[in-house]
Amino acid sequence: MGTKQYTSARYLACALLAALAVAGCTRSSPAGQPATSTPVPQKTSPADVCANLVSYWAKETVNGGKWSGLDWEQKGLSNEQYAIHEEILAAARAEEKRQGRPAALKLIDLQARQKCTAQNGATGSSENWRPPK
């Protein structure tokens, strides 16, 4: 009957798709050129994590972001990072009144980097914080 023909066609189609998938996943470089290596992820320091978190949430607040009203734990901040956040936010609001929002956003980045670096990530007083792996 006709089912044997369709079964053979299905096997052939599956085999062709599998071969194409394998061929598409293999890496080959042009002749004479070495294959490029996969980039290695960089370790992130506690100061970098702190600066990124603090500046992100301070900017969200200045910009009136939807999630800016979360508490410090929901934002993933340690107690010390939250204190830095509040200091920077007060300075940014004052800067926004004087020089406008773009200046306030720049100040946030600058102060977050400075304060988080000075406090080595400001990870103290938080039992929930874990260093990056």
- For residue 16, is it within any domain? no
Q: What is the pLDDT of residues 11-48, one digit of tens each?
A: 556 565 566 565 555 555 556 666 677 887 788 899 99
Angle 77-104-58 from CA coordinates, rounded to 5°: 15
- The domain containing residue 59 runs over which residues? 46-118
Q: Kindly state the DSSP code that residue 117 receives in the 8-state scheme.
A: H
Question: Is the pTM here over 0.85, yes or no?
Answer: no
- For residue 72, is it within any domain? yes
Look up residue 6 and give its two tokens.
Answer: 């369709």
pLDDT at res. 12? 57
- For residue 10, is it within any domain? no
Looking at every residue in the chain, the average pLDDT score rounds to 80
Q: What is the pLDDT of residues 82-104, one digit of tens each?
A: 999 999 999 999 999 999 999 99
- For residue 133, is it within any domain? no
